[in-house]
Structure 1
Amino acid sequence: MRRRLRLLSLMLAAVISFVALCATPSAAEEEMTFKPTVKGAYLYGIPEKTTYDKLAAVLYKTIIDIKSTSGAVVVSGQDTYIGTGFTVSLNGNSYTAVILGDVNGDGILTAMDYIHIKRHYLGTYTIPGEAKLLAAGDDDFDGKIKAYIYLMVKRHVLGSYKMNVNYTVPYTDFEDDESGWTTSWV
């Protein structure tokens, strides 16, 4: 009886290990497909870890100028990620970049971003600045982060969800087409 129980537990452990290995996300670079969207003074839909070159590849017929939050110019060939609060000029029109979940403005969704969003969600911290509030999921500036954004950021940081893939601004009436792409700045 004990032998069968050991064998059964060993088989169960093997199955669980196999499932865990199959569910582990790949470290390989994924192709970035996204459509930046302008809404008011903000440019949405930029995924985390987007460089100047990746944004320029998506907006291939657009003149792009990017400045970091410190005012430093971001140019082609740099490994600087576009973060929330960066100024992105498209054909002379300036917009503030909003990367969903990136509240510290480094262009990467990290545990620190999650902690800030969680604390704001719980009411123990206030995220300063409109762009950072938009990145945290407060799209109507009522001071409340949407629960689904909070959960998306949490799952992204834990590795069980990929945020900002094919992201477009929710609840928006687009004039040009239904895909979320707008050519209003082109």
Structure 2
Amino acid sequence: MISFDFEYYKPASVSEAIALFQELENQGKQPRYYAGGTEILTLGRLGLFVTHAVIDIKNIPEFQKAEVDEDWMIFGAGVTLTELEEKNLFPLLSKSASEVADHTARNKITLGGNICGHIFYREAVLPLLLTDSQLAVAGLTGTNVYSIHDLFHRRLQLKKGELLVQMFVETKYAA
């Protein structure tokens, strides 16, 4: 059980989530984005995490993509590790995801949560680093795409309120 109360919000779009984060931050509510919730529960139970508002982003369409086009494999930050493993679009990422926790936990842990989390395990990031992946990050100025190497230094270096939306891996790495 976590020892704090929080408000729950469920925006319908990335821009709405970003604006909501800023509004709640200005109110001093220390908002956190939520997709799987494992970190909130784990760290909250230990008294290492407190927030007064969670912003549920898991059903925003861009977060749920796991698809391949001619040039890119696209993975939404809200795709669960189990889904990555089952779809197996990028075998190296699927293998990394399959080694995280147990199956029950992988049903909740998201790709974005594994990469952005405060818990020090970030197993899914290695395949993205090895393939020079691109990251779509949303913030107050819109969504921008960056090389993972520009943003990842032991953990993803996002500014307060920014949100990892999607990861892009060139299809040549699927094999």
Could you tell me the TM-score, scaled by structure 1's length? 0.30
Higher strand share: 2
Could you tell me the TM-score, scaled by structure 2's length? 0.32
Higher helix share: 2
